[in-house]
Amino acid sequence: MLALPFGFVSFGLAAGRIVVAHDDLVLADTGFHEPSDPAIFARNVAAWFTGGRAGRFLAFSDNQGLTGNALISAMVSAGHTWVVSTSTPLTLTNLLTFDGIFLCGHPVASDDLLNYVNAGGNVYLAGVGVASDDMSKWNQFLQQFGLEFSDIGTGVADFSVASTHPMFEGVDHLYGVNGTALVDLQPSNPRNRVLVSNSGMGLFAVWEPKETRLRIRVSQVELSWDSETNINYMVEYRSSLTGGSWLPLGTDCVPGDGSVKCVYDSVLVGEPQRFYRLATNCVPER
């Protein structure tokens, strides 16, 4: 007996994601103190990028926000590979060997980042608290995803976090001093949004694409078997193993002659599956 699925099979398209933080001190060594939860936050970001598996990440920065020992320890202890380098070639082929690239301070060409995200790469980007610097380095890239750094400093230190996004699970406080406020340029677009604010100033924002799915529909099934001489065959089917009668596929017996025999069945839209069996008690019509 053979069971075959009918209908549509869907495959998800690889999708890059972007996380933007207002300040470098969020993940710097100075941010690893009570009541802040930077280790949990960093691991949550990594899990959001990888779907929960261990990943390989590039910290393309010489800024304290991504090079500190506390952050390295948090990521490595979670099973991730954490590479700190500003000399790694930023070709698309090389970037795609990483599950995500973490950026802060050290500039990267907007087109390189755009190509990486469009190819399924993930980006974490932190400001350094100098509004004009953050705007000139990153806004050309961010604006293509409905976000931007503003010209306003956040001016906060230890601040509370209240968000249901998975990046903030188990995170109720983070640290940052005079970062650069974030702006959602398309508030009605759910793909880009500011998740955490303080006194109206955006502290954390994300962009994630709408998932595109490829659907494949099977339209015909071929069933074949090695026949024996002087035996008449009939392929039968039913849609469930727990109920219903076996029905003949076609009306004629298939006489065996030692060759391979084939019959075909059309796949009906909306019928999720069929079970098939080969019967040898077929009586030819006279």
What is the DSSP annotation of 35-85? T--HHHHHHHHHHHHHTSS--EEEEE--SHHHH-HHHHHHHHHTT-EEEE-
At 12 the pLDDT is: 43
Whether the per-residue pLDDT at 10 is higher than 60: the answer is no
Averaged confidence pLDDT in the chain: 90
At 250 the pLDDT is: 82
Given CATH 3.40.50, say whether it is the number of domain 17-207.
Answer: yes
Whether the per-residue pLDDT at 86 is higher than 80: the answer is yes
- The most confident of the ranges 112-126, 153-167, 269-283 is 112-126
Whether the per-residue pLDDT at 182 is higher than 70: the answer is yes
Confidence of residue 286 (pLDDT cuts 50, 70, 90): low
At 269 the pLDDT is: 76
Choose between 234 and 125: higher pLDDT.
125
**Checking DSSP bridges between strand 56-60 and strand 100-104, what pairing results, if any?**
parallel
> Which run of H or of E encompasses 183?
strand 180-184
Domain assignments of the chain as residue spans, ordered by start: 2-9+215-279, 17-207
Q: Is the peptide bond prior to 248 cis by the omega test (within 30 degrees of 0)?
A: no
Whether the per-residue pLDDT at 48 is higher than 60: the answer is yes
Q: What is the pLDDT of residues 138-153, one digit of tens each?
A: 999 999 999 999 999 9
Nearest Cα neighbor of 126 from 54, 182, 88 is: 182
Whether the per-residue pLDDT at 43 is higher than 90: the answer is yes
DSSP string spanning 228-277?
A: -TT-EEEEEEES-SSSS--EESSSS-EE--SSEEEEEEEPPTT--EEEEE
Q: What is the pLDDT of residues 196-225, one digit of tens each?
A: 999 999 999 999 987 666 667 778 889 999
What is the residue whose two structure tokens read 């060997």?
Answer: 97
- Check: CB of residue 221 under 8 Å from CB of residue 265: yes
At 132 the pLDDT is: 86
Choose between 79 and 218: higher pLDDT.
79
The tokens describing 141, both together, are 């890239």
Share of the chain above pLDDT 90, in %: 72
What is the residue whose two structure tokens read 């980007």?
Answer: 125
Whether the per-residue pLDDT at 7 is higher than 60: the answer is no
In whole angstroms, give the CA distance from residue 193 to residue 195: 6
Whether the per-residue pLDDT at 242 is higher than 90: the answer is no
102 CB-near residues (< 8 Å, 6+ apart) = 57, 58, 59, 60, 61, 66, 123, 124, 125, 126
In whole angstroms, give the CA distance from residue 6 to residue 217: 8
Choose between 147 and 244: higher pLDDT.
147
Q: What is the pLDDT of residues 248-277, one digit of tens each?
A: 988 788 999 999 999 999 887 777 788 899
The tokens describing 108, both together, are 């990267």
Instruction: Calculate mean pLDDT across residues 17-42.
Output: 97
At 9 the pLDDT is: 44
The tokens describing 238, both together, are 């039913």
180 CB-near residues (< 8 Å, 6+ apart) = 22, 23, 127, 128, 129, 130, 131, 134, 135, 149, 150, 152, 153, 154
The tokens describing 61, both together, are 């920065």
At 283 the pLDDT is: 78
Q: What is the pLDDT of residues 55-73, one digit of tens each?
A: 999 999 999 999 999 999 9
In whole angstroms, give the CA distance from residue 127 to residue 23: 5
Whether the per-residue pLDDT at 11 is higher than 80: the answer is no
* CA atoms in the 13 A half-sphere facing the CB of 207: 26
The tokens describing 143, both together, are 């604006």
Instruction: Calculate mean pLDDT across residues 76-97.
Output: 96
Whether the per-residue pLDDT at 194 is higher than 60: the answer is yes
In whole angstroms, give the CA distance from residue 82 to residue 20: 19
Residues in the chain: 286
Would the CA dihedral through 61, 64, 65, 67 be positive or negative? Answer: positive
